[in-house]
Chains A and B, each alone.
Chain A
């Protein structure tokens, strides 16, 4: 089962080394923006990993996963606004709030399947989105600035960009590691069996609902932590964070990277968010000699290139990037 020298594993090792060396490179190259970009990539990769846990392994296509980024972010933002700056309070609360919300959403939505499940998760996410828009005390539509990053004890200082970057990297790797264990445990077997054939699972004696619900809550909780990180990263939280298009982005990351694979969501996040930066630039550079000033505006339509690319992956590489790297996938 473990072929250590598969191209996929080599890519994972190289990618992790590059990620570890990135702050050094950025400071040598005098390009601090790289650290900012990749901190964001790491955080969203963590959110995508949590989504992959239920979507890829559990077959639960949650179309409202960004709501946990929002709830986690607001937990940090609101507590900071009210004068509670300690990360020891903020982060656990972000996680707990998300877990509780996931419990409610899951308890109702997991009784349905397919399109209905997608629609209910979307509806709940939109509900919270509009709730955020109505939060006048906390900036409503315009959002809430977070002046101070979460405070921790001792030498941990999140306002240090490099330190924060490494914390995000560490938490991402921990998330992937924990998810890997979850997926291969008895619990994970039930989750995967239920994705594959829920009726059969019940016939052989599993009350699958409670396991699926637990998985749903775990995914929400992990994404809540990612939300707390994201709010610290941007120093800002607004309803836009949990707009349904954000949930769509997370799904794209998972599908692009490869569903039901440990590192797929990381691949997906790196590729999608790098393209998001690189494509407009590339279009502008290539089009300027031809179209002059108009080329700058053309860069805004970079998604015209992303769309077909995503289509190709869905049509021809079911296992996503991970599947391509791992060679012939099962099935």
Chain B
């Protein structure tokens, strides 16, 4: 039995009349790649928002690495090793790609009340940042402004920033959104490589990618978990087919 890294207990969140999280309980063991799927509006991003500390839940509990983080602010969760990527690319557009990653390195290299030395010439920040870019195969874009990178490159950079915080667990919100088939394939390869080192919670619409990568899959519909298990079990689940996959396959046909 492996250690549980992330434990969610009866997490609830209501927006007006909409129950975005309806008593969600979930355990993600260390080292697992756990995918969360569900139709639009199922509350997937809301769930990530609560895990990352941007949205306060109305009830329930979140435990990460055996510590209760339900009330911790986002930056503290990041310090504990919980990193998120955003569904809509969320970088610093007026910084270079390297600056973006270096800032993430800086966030985990002691306090930033350092007022004099040029941060852009600190090898301790630049080198790990370059390594993270190289890992995502965008090293040659290091000095480009983010606003001039292609969409796919920005998605790669988004992941590089998350990795630069040296997390234990990644919360990935649709990392392949808007990507072409080639870019998606590269992202799948990257995630497969990361899978051994990190625990990953993945939200993704690309079913091919999800079934190729996930150890376990949880299906969320209207804020409620309707099924959770191994990919084969999910594929065979009647309720899931009804609520989600059937509709998806019909749409793809």
Contacts and interface: CB of A to CB of B under 8 A. Distances in A.
Q: Do A and B bind each other?
A: yes
Interface stretch (B11-19, B106-114, B225-233, B245-253): B106-114
A331 B95 contact: no
A182 B119 CA distance: 10
Contact of A199 (B54, B120, B165): B54
A188 interface: yes
Nearest to B90: A200
Contacts of A204: 78, 83, 103-104, 107, 161-162, 164-165
Contacts of A290: none
A237 to B, nearest CB: 31
A196 B75 contact: no
Interface string B75-119: 110110001101000111111000100111011100011111111
A197 B147 CA distance: 14
Interface residues of A, number: 27
A215 to B, nearest CB: 10
Contact of A181 (B79, B93, B116): B116
B94 A199 contact: no
Which of A200, A202, A203 gathers the greatest number of chain B CB atoms within 10 Å? A203
B52 interface: yes
Given A186-B106, A187-B113, A207-B75, A199 B90 contact: yes
Contacts of A192: 92, 94-95
B24 interface: no
Given A189-B119, A203-B78, A204-B104, A331 B94 contact: yes
Interface in B150-181: 161-162, 164-165
B117 A186 contact: yes
A187 B122 CA distance: 13
A186 to B, nearest CB: 4
A258 to B, nearest CB: 14
Given A193-B103, A196-B92, A196-B95, A205 B117 contact: no
Nearest to B85: A203
B188 interface: no
A214 interface: yes
Name the interface size band of chain B.
Answer: 35 or more
A197 B89 CA distance: 11
B112 A182 contact: no
Given A181-B116, A211-B112, A331-B147, A202 B92 contact: no
A203 B91 contact: no
Contact of A203 (B54, B95, B113): B54
A203 B94 contact: no
Given A186-B119, A197-B92, A203 B112 contact: no
A206 B112 contact: yes
A196 B96 CA distance: 12
Interface in B101-146: 102-104, 106-108, 112-120, 122, 125, 145
B129 to A, nearest CB: 12
A187 B115 CA distance: 6
Contacts of B164: 204
A193 B54 CA distance: 18
Given A197-B92, A203-B84, A185 B75 contact: no
B191 interface: no
B5 interface: no
A197 B91 contact: yes
Given A203-B78, A205-B78, A182 B103 contact: no
A192 B96 CA distance: 13
Contacts of A189: 99, 102-103, 106, 112, 119
Contacts of A207: 73, 75-76
A206 B75 contact: yes
Nearest to B81: A205
Given A186-B117, A196-B94, A200-B90, 11 more contacts: A181-B118, A185-B116, A186-B114, A188-B119, A189-B99, A192-B95, A197-B92, A203-B90, A205-B165, A208-B75, A331-B145
6 contacts: A190-B112, A199-B90, A204-B164, A208-B75, A211-B113, A331-B93
What 10 pairs between A and B have smallest CB-CB spacing?
A205-B78, A205-B107, A196-B92, A202-B74, A186-B114, A186-B112, A204-B104, A186-B119, A204-B107, A190-B112
Interface of A: 181-182, 184-190, 192-193, 196-197, 199-208, 211, 214, 330-331
